[in-house]
Structure 1
């Protein structure tokens, strides 16, 4: 997929946004875009030094930002994030669940090293911890803060490889990859997106899953056809939805993707 349209310009002045995995790759670009729109961006990462370096860059651009040490798979870090954000801001307007890993293959353009029947249990469990359980539990933890916001927005960074329609379609570009851990973890994330969105339908909180595109990052690989900056556009679009925007969907830019 290639980029088509940019997210509309809106003002996020006075809003607070948290980006997990915010110190590298796609997360850096999402944080930069949110900062440019006026949000106070919390750059969350396992490595606090990396988060601080990213914040330093954002502040040099004139943006508001803070660093937060957050290993998304650790309950104590998630609890600390809740306490810290509550104390510092009292509210969370935007949560971008961006942190993710790929263990099935060297990069997103390479078929899995092992077929699904031979996938290693340890790799599958580790992938689910980061790609599914972490965003699920973090969203549950921070939901009270999102519900305090005038218009809370949750963006789950998923992948077209979490689409069962694409995984079962021999004509789909993702069909030959067969990365059991990554693909099923993103499918599970999509299911969580639907279920929470339906629970919260009619409230001020909207939650959507996105496919940012195939990106030239450490995870995506050099063969990818989009930059991380391109990929940030879909995240920003669904982080800045107005009250008429969708919830419980799966999108790439303006395109609704099949589950």
Structure 2
């Protein structure tokens, strides 16, 4: 049975990603900052007959928490097949370039960028033991520099001085990580789940959580011939590394 760790998985897209991977036969470690909320999420899944799941406490903003989670998971399994870096924050809105508090921008980067790097580095040894390791970094179309400079893009006017650069940096890191692992069985990709109605955006998005999670799951379950080093989004652009499904 393949194993997967999903950060920020006790609600919204992360939770639905866990549900869909459970339905495909994966054993899911539900990463969450608050263990009680994680257990509540696990109980809900188990009530649906999805029992191969348990919570793992992990705060991606804390190296101590990440290291503790790595130790705990290492006691449960030697091999990790899939890592979904889903945890993220938008930061307080709006975020104009000249007025946004730099400490807020740093906090957004801490979660969306540095947190992903820290988690990936902490669990890479377990992933390397998998025959088909997969890393999915959940990003945003707002992280595409090409789209952000296209006046015809439907979200062109959405400019966030912390969130947009943090996701652009995440996309760049995904490219570098995939390159470093190019001669291995790893598939490393960034996935934009789309503008989805969640707590993250006060349920303002037009997309549904099941559809968003399905995009993440698709990248998490790529076969041996699947792509790597790509950014998948329904907002297709000619930017290098940007792809549509």
**Structure 1 and Structure 2 fold alike (TM over 0.5):** yes
**Alpha-carbon separation, structure 2, partners of 1:257 and 1:88:** 43
The counterpart of 2:145, out of the listed 161, 164, 189, is 164
Deviations 1:54-75 (A, max 9, x none): 1111122222101111111111
* Greater relative contact order (Cα < 8 A, sep 6+): 1
Displacement after TM superposition at 1:193 (Å): 0.2
- The TM-score, its normalising length taken from structure 1, stands at 0.89
- What is the aligned partner in structure 2 of residue 199 from structure 1? 180
The counterpart of 1:39, out of the listed 8, 26, 29, is 26
Displacement after TM superposition at 1:218 (Å): 1.1
- What is the aligned partner in structure 2 of residue 86 from structure 1? 74
The counterpart of 1:23, out of the listed 4, 10, 13, is 10
**Alpha-carbon separation, structure 1, partners of 2:166 and 2:111:** 9
- What is the aligned partner in structure 2 of residue 75 from structure 1? 63
Asked if structure 2 preserves the Cα contact closer than 8 Å seen for 1:215 and 1:221, the reply is no
- What is the aligned partner in structure 2 of residue 98 from structure 1? 86
User: Are 1:124 and 2:111 an aligned pair?
Assistant: no
Displacement after TM superposition at 1:174 (Å): 2.2
- What is the aligned partner in structure 2 of residue 7 from structure 1? none
Between 1:208-217 and 1:246-255, the stretch displaced more is 246-255
- What is the aligned partner in structure 1 of residue 47 from structure 2? 60
Describe how 1:248-259 pairs up with structure 2 within 5 A. 248-252=229-233, 258=239
Deviations 1:145-189 (A, max 9, x none): 001011010000000000000111111122211101000000000
Cα RMSD (Å): 1.5
How many pairs does the alignment contain?
Answer: 239
Deviations 1:195-244 (A, max 9, x none): 01000012011110010011000113333111111100110000000010
Q: Which runs of 5+ in 1 are unaligned?
A: 1-13, 106-112
The counterpart of 2:157, out of the listed 173, 176, 182, is 176
User: Are 1:217 and 2:208 an aligned pair?
Assistant: no
